[in-house]
Amino acid sequence: MNPMMDASGFDKSQVADIVKVDGKAVMFPVASFVYPVFVNLDLAAQAGVTKLPSTRAEFLEAAKKMTIADKNQYGWVLPLSLQTPSGVQNDMMSWVWASGQSMMADGKPDLEGKPVVDMLTFVKSLNDAGTISPGIATKTEQEKVEEFVNNRVGMMIDSLAHVNLIRKRNPKLNFDLIPVPVVENYTGKRGLPYASWGIGISAASKHQEEAWKLVQYVMSEKVNAKLVSLANAFPGNVNAQPDFVTSDKAFGKAFEIFKTGYLANEFTGLPVAEDLMTQFDVQAQKMLAGEQSPEQAAAAAQKGWMAKF
């Protein structure tokens, strides 16, 4: 869509994210469902966690305090089922993006770089400390949410789309939302993992000019605000404000996180993204089982990914 944006004078700064393939803009997120950290405030208070974590070190400390294995209560939950490997994207790589870092370099995988290796080392430290709920290798996102709803985990990274589901499953659950914690001394904007409904234009379309008019219409401030209000999602136009953020405390908090950060999901637009997640998942599981180091896991995943590129 680059030529159309240039020809029409389209203001790129109004778009929350531009999904690119080979440097070319192919999609805008129309409505985004972000993934902050959900915190069980009652479990936090009982554990003596008076300040919700902002850094990885604080998160590890809070997770340790919230973990009481004898009561089947844990600080964090990590779903790495190979059937649905999205845990790699939402629950692992989100730590990389939160600190403004990347799993890519010059359009190619960079899994052996410091950001990804540090993330793996951090996740391993959470596991070594016994703070992650058991059953990581077979756990699904749905099971993760169930554990949070039933007061079995203190913190989880999850879609904002599940707020109403969580409330329905446990109306008494006292929870708050925070951004994914960052590495020490990081002060920049925080990347916020997300899934979205996207819009683009087929290269084979005979009516690209008309299609571009529709794209601009859907992405315009007022139209986008109305659409995302109906969907309980966040806008693709950064100037649009959905209705529910002023009437619902949780959504309002998440919207503040959204506005002060930026959307980040490097799997969007990658070749066979789910296969890449599965490959990384396998290596992460081996690491958590003590079969290899974070560096070895990253190297093995890098080799597999490069074959797909």
pLDDT of residue 238: 94
Q: Which pLDDT tens digit goes with each residue over 97-136?
A: 999 999 999 989 999 999 999 999 999 999 999 999 999 9
Which residue matches tokens 């059937």? Answer: 83
Q: Decide if pLDDT at 91 tops 90.
A: yes
pLDDT of residue 127: 98
Looking at the chain, the domain(s) classified CATH 3.40.190.10 span 2-33+197-263, 37-191+270-308
Give the model's confidence band at 268: pLDDT under 50 very low, under 70 low, under 90 confident, else very high: confident
Give the model's confidence band at 47: pLDDT under 50 very low, under 70 low, under 90 confident, else very high: very high
Is residue 57 exposed (0-12), middle (13-18) or buried (19+ Cβ within 10 Å)? Answer: middle
pLDDT of residue 271: 82
Per CATH, the number for 2-33+197-263 is: 3.40.190.10
pLDDT of residue 73: 98
Q: Which pLDDT tens digit goes with each residue over 189-230?
A: 999 999 999 999 999 999 999 999 999 999 999 999 999 999
DSSP string of the chain?
Answer: -HHHHHHHT--GGGBS--EEETTEEEEEEEEEEE--EEEEHHHHHHTT--S---BHHHHHHHHHHH-BGGGTBEEE-----TTSTTHIIIIIIHHHHHTT--SEETTEE-TTSHHHHHHHHHHHHHHHTT-BPS-GGG--HHHHHHHHHTTSEEEEE--GGGHHHHHHH-TT--EEEEPPPB-TT--SPPEE-EEEEEE---TT-S-HHHHHHHHHHHHSHHHHHHHHHHHT-EESBTT---GGGTT-HHHHHHHHHHHHSEE--TTTTSTTHHHHHHHHHHHHHHHHTTSS-HHHHHHHHHHHHHHH-
pLDDT of residue 136: 98
Q: Which pLDDT tens digit goes with each residue over 154-183?
A: 999 999 999 999 999 999 999 999 999 999
Which one, of 302, 279, 284, lies nearest residue 294 by Cα? 284
The dihedrals phi and psi of 155, each to the nearest 5 degrees, come to -140, 145
- Average pLDDT of the chain, as a whole number: 96
pTM of the model: 0.92
CATH architecture of 37-191+270-308: 3-Layer(aba) Sandwich (3.40)
Neighbours of 49 (CB within 10 A): 22
pLDDT of residue 79: 98
Is residue 2 exposed (0-12), middle (13-18) or buried (19+ Cβ within 10 Å)? Answer: middle
Q: Which pLDDT tens digit goes with each residue over 3-43?
A: 999 999 999 999 999 998 888 999 999 999 999 999 999 99
Contact 2, 201 (CB under 8 A): no
Please state, for a pLDDT cut of 90, what percent of the chain lies above it: 95
